[in-house]
């Protein structure tokens, strides 16, 4: 897949990410699969963090990443677009959902997800089904799983 599809496909949004290695791995995934990444700040680390740099390597394409100072600015820009929240609190599986090419797929903080007020604002909430008694997948794994399904459904891969 070439990078000229970056603006045609889904966008991955991270809400206040707090683990630099996960964010770096997600940047690599988005770069390799041609998805734009949106980061809602504040982050729990600096982009100069050596743990971040070790994982991101040379995949840090600033044209592929958009940063928002806060959730309200993110939401204002998305007012006419679909936002899909990935959450362990949803009941609809991501495989049962019909993705569109220009969706924004939102993932919460590794440590706490997204606040309840954001859950209430987002119309579409999906889950990755897991075995009982398991809390959650790593966020970078979750991004890869859902992004692949979205790209498959929209025939972008």
Task: Work out the average pLDDT over 19-23.
Answer: 90
CATH 3.40.50.300 assigned to 3-153: no
- Residue 48 is predicted with a pLDDT of 74
List Cα–Cα distances, 139 to 74, 79, 108, 119, in angstroms: 20, 25, 8, 17
More confident residue, 59 or 13: 13
CA 113 to chain CA centroid, nearest Å: 12
pTM of the model: 0.89
Extract the tokens encoding 88.
């362990």
pLDDT at residue 4 is higher than 70: no
User: Which residue from 26, 24, 28, 30 is spatially nearest to 54, judged by alpha carbons?
Assistant: 24
Consecutive H or E run containing 18: none
Domain segments of the chain: what residues? 3-153
Tokens read off for 52: 């971040």
Q: What is the pLDDT of residue 9?
A: 81
For the chain, report the end-to-end CA distance as a whole number of angstroms.
7
């Amino acid at each position: 897949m070439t990078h000229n599809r970056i603006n045609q496909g889904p966008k991955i949004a991270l809400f206040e990410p707090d683990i630099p290695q996960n964010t770096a791995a997600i940047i690599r995934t988005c770069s390799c699969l041609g998805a734009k990444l949106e980061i809602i700040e504040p982050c729990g680390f600096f982009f100069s963090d050596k743990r971040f740099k070790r994982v991101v390597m040379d995949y840090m394409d600033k044209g592929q990443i958009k940063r928002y100072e806060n959730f309200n600015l993110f939401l204002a820009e998305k007012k006419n677009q679909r936002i899909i929240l990935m959450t362990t609190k949803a009941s609809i599986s991501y495989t049962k959902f019909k993705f569109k090419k220009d969706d924004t797929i939102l993932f919460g903080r590794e440590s706490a997800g997204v606040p309840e007020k954001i859950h209430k604002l987002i119309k579409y909430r999906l889950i990755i089904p897991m075995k009982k008694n398991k809390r959650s997948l790593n966020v970078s794994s979750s991004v890869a799983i859902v992004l692949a399904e979205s790209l498959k459904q929209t025939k972008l891969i």
